[in-house]
Amino acid sequence: MNFLDPNLITDPYPTYARWQAERPIFRAEDTGQWVLTRHDDVRSVLKSSVDYSSKAMGEQGNPLPLLTDDPPKHTQLRALVDRAFTMRMLKLMEDWVDDLAAEMVAALPAGEPVDIVQALTIPLPVAVISRMMGIPAERADDFKRWSDALTGTLAGASMEDRQQDILEMAAFFQDMIPERRRAPGDDLISSVANAEIEGERLTDQEIVGFCILLLIAGNETTTNLLGNLFNIAADRPEVWSALIDDPKLIDAAVEETLRFDAPVQFLMRKATRPMHYHGQDVAEGENVTVVMAAANRDPDVYEHPDQFRLDRKRNHHHTFGFGIHFCIGAPLARMEARMVLKALTNRFSRLERPAEAPGENERVASPLLRGFHHLWLTFSE
């Protein structure tokens, strides 16, 4: 019962199903943490910030504001950036993102293999979050390198190299603080750098952590969501045909991908009081890992959970979390994915795997984040 088994990266879902059926709660041998996989159990943990603390995430390294905070501090910090991610604010960005997606799709080769991750699903989300943070577009490559270093998702990257990239990222945002205080703009870094909570500004360390969180949340989820969707559609030509025939199904395709192959597989919480699940006692202070990707395929909740269905009527997946920690960037990720799919289906009638590709497909080297670093596909007009 090894939760971080590298073999899970290829296809974790048969293992999740076995855990769900046979041992809905167990203590993982490699992490020592309790693991929960059933829909209702996962939801009970995510929705209760009283019974479960988010500080467990911070104990795994690189503690970040919001992600590793509990109320009341979490409530105060979230209010600082909520305004930037409201539907009204995102609506103002839609035309720009729509144009950017169309421009990037127009540059894709027709009928030839293309690494869609490097050509589209990485650069578009990075460009969008860079604009929201007020960062020059020419730093896009640095942004992605820093993000990969922090999440540990690049195969073969040494801890020493990762640490160097993380320090470089922190120094970059540290240097931005006095600049944005001296001349604030209408961007996220300016908002955070000049914000006050109960009359006091955030510390530089908190501001840097906020910037890092926004950078990662603003690109990793969308990149992995799109890569997983294209990978699914490449094996199901009827899905791509359906999206072309009825563009109104694009939202359903995004939601079903989030359920079927979640870009974020699990989260960790710490029990603040004794809890009990399926005959097992979880002691106060013990860590619990909730596997949202398993809960999203619970057969007691979802009909034919291992089928990818655009006609799924009830899709209340946990991929963006639940409760007060529901992902603040969820509307942004959905909007970007919708614009990309619209641009692609407007231009290309077919999506296939190439008979021969210049490179190999490469999954993100992480059991936490599920997506692709490289995914070779052929789009035909």
Q: Going by C-beta distance under 8 Å and a sequence separation of 6 or more, which residues neighbour residue 281? A: 274, 275
pLDDT at residue 121 tops 80: yes
What count of Cα atoms within 13 Å lies in the side-chain half-sphere of residue 34?
27
Q: What is the pLDDT of residue 328?
A: 77
Where is 121: in which H helix or E strand? Answer: none
Confidence of residue 69 (pLDDT cuts 50, 70, 90): low
pLDDT at residue 61 tops 60: no
Mean pLDDT is lowest, of 64-68, 249-253, 333-337, for 64-68
| DSSP secondary structure code for residue 9 in this structure | G
Domains of the chain: 45-259+318-380 (1.10.630.10)
Predicted TM-score (pTM) of the model is 0.89
Confidence of residue 93 (pLDDT cuts 50, 70, 90): confident
Main-chain phi, psi angles of 155, to 5 degrees:
-60, 135
DSSP 248-299: GGHHHHHHHHHHHS-SB-EEEEEESS-EEETTEEEPTT-EEEEEHHHHTT-T
Residue, of 218 and 241, whose pLDDT is higher: 241
Mean pLDDT is lowest, of 109-123, 144-158, 293-307, for 144-158
| 362-363 and 275-277 beta bridge pairing | unpaired
Q: What is the pLDDT of residue 68?
A: 61
Confidence of residue 372 (pLDDT cuts 50, 70, 90): very high
Residue, of 225 and 91, whose pLDDT is higher: 225
